[in-house]
Structure 1
Amino acid sequence: MILEPAPPCFDIPRSIDRSAFGQPLRELSDADGRELVIADGSGELHVRLRDEQAAQRPAVLLPIDSMAELRLDVALHFVRQLGGRGRSLLPAALRLTAFQKRRLIQLLHAFDVHDLGGGPRDVAAKVLASDHAQRRAVEWKDSHARRKANRLIHDSIALVERGYLKLLRGL
């Protein structure tokens, strides 16, 4: 989320009280300004302050693109947090369940094995910890571990090749 100084015609009642968020996890400065990484129980929020006036007279910069609705939701949660009404920085669409986290980790691990030249047997052995990978070819051909390993490889490639954008959109 990017904060810019509000135009002078807006009456901004107060500056951002950084103590409402506690200490940032990270604070980075570069030629484009400062970025704060703020965390709560639901995840991290990256707030980019283009200059110091952005903290004194905050206005959210909202690009109108395919992610506009999600950015608007994040900005709304941020405003609620500033007013002491919200407890969650991440919108529901971005919160992952424990199952989704495990599945994504498994997919990324499968992609790494496949990317290093591994095949379905390697994915079954290393990612699924299946002993079916050690079976003879006839038994391996009909194995559920082989089918699952092939699915993991297919899904992991799709995830890495821009499928991750669905996650960011909350789909």
Structure 2
Amino acid sequence: MLIVPAPPGFAEARALPVDGLPDLLARSDDGDGCSAILIDIHGPHRLRIEHGADATGWAYVIPDDPWRMLRLHALHRLLLKLAGLPTGMPPPMPGLTPYRLHRLALALRALDGEEDGASRREIGAVLFAGEARGITAHDWKSSGLRKKVARLIRLGRVMRGGGYRHLLTRSFDRIRWN
């Protein structure tokens, strides 16, 4: 949670001293502010408090991005924690089907193979030993397995390029699974 100085006109905005935060586990100061972790039975609260927030009061930053609902829930839990109330459980983690979990694992393995210099045919032979057995070099060019390996590598690249964030927001429809 990003905490910045309250803008002018919010005279009632309050600030808590970092050392007075409840259940403070860790604190790290730098020139721009400090980071803190608060212990909670349902999961830690991670705070970034910008320099000057103690003097003017706190303002919480919630960017209008795809993760805003998770951030709002985290803010709600933090405010309950600071008030000394039970925070409740964080939002449930997205439920990936066993098939999609397996496919993600295959995609990461295929991407690792490609980055290690393996050919797509070698990747297919490792990931799908049963299917790959008996496919000749000539048959490989039109093989469905060749296309499957290409799709897995493409999925791995999407996930590496930031697509993994959709796993956090449960927006699975935005992930290109094919």
TM range (shorter): 0.5 to 0.7
Pairing 1:18-167 to 2, within 5 Å after superposition:
18-20=21-23, 23-24=25-26, 27-37=27-37, 45-51=45-51, 53-54=53-54, 57-83=57-83, 84-88=85-89, 90-92=90-92, 95-97=93-95, 99=98, 104-124=104-124, 128=127, 130-132=128-130, 135-138=133-136, 149-167=149-167
Structure 1 unaligned residues grouped into runs of 5+: none
Structure 2: distance between partners of 1:43 and 1:143: 47
Q: Structure 1 residues 9, 102: closer, same or farther in 2, change over 3 A?
A: farther
CA contact 2:4–2:52 (8 Å) conserved in 1: no
Structure 2 unaligned residues grouped into runs of 5+: 172-178
SS of corresponding position for 1:9:
coil
TM-score when normalising by structure 1: 0.62
Q: Based on CA coordinates, which of the two structures has the bigger radius of gyration?
A: 2
Identity of aligned residues (%): 24
Q: How many residues align?
A: 163
Structure 1: distance between partners of 2:42 and 2:120: 35
Return the offset for 1:101.
Answer: 6.4
TM-score when normalising by structure 2: 0.61
Structure 2: distance between partners of 1:72 and 1:78: 10
SS of corresponding position for 1:117:
coil
Return the offset for 1:137.
Answer: 2.0
CA contact 1:3–1:47 (8 Å) conserved in 2: yes
Structure 1: distance between partners of 2:153 and 2:43: 28
Return the offset for 1:138.
Answer: 4.3
Map of 2:11 onto structure 1: 9
Return the offset for 1:144.
Answer: 8.4
Return the offset for 1:63.
Answer: 2.9
Structure 2: distance between partners of 1:3 and 1:166: 25
RMSD: 4.2
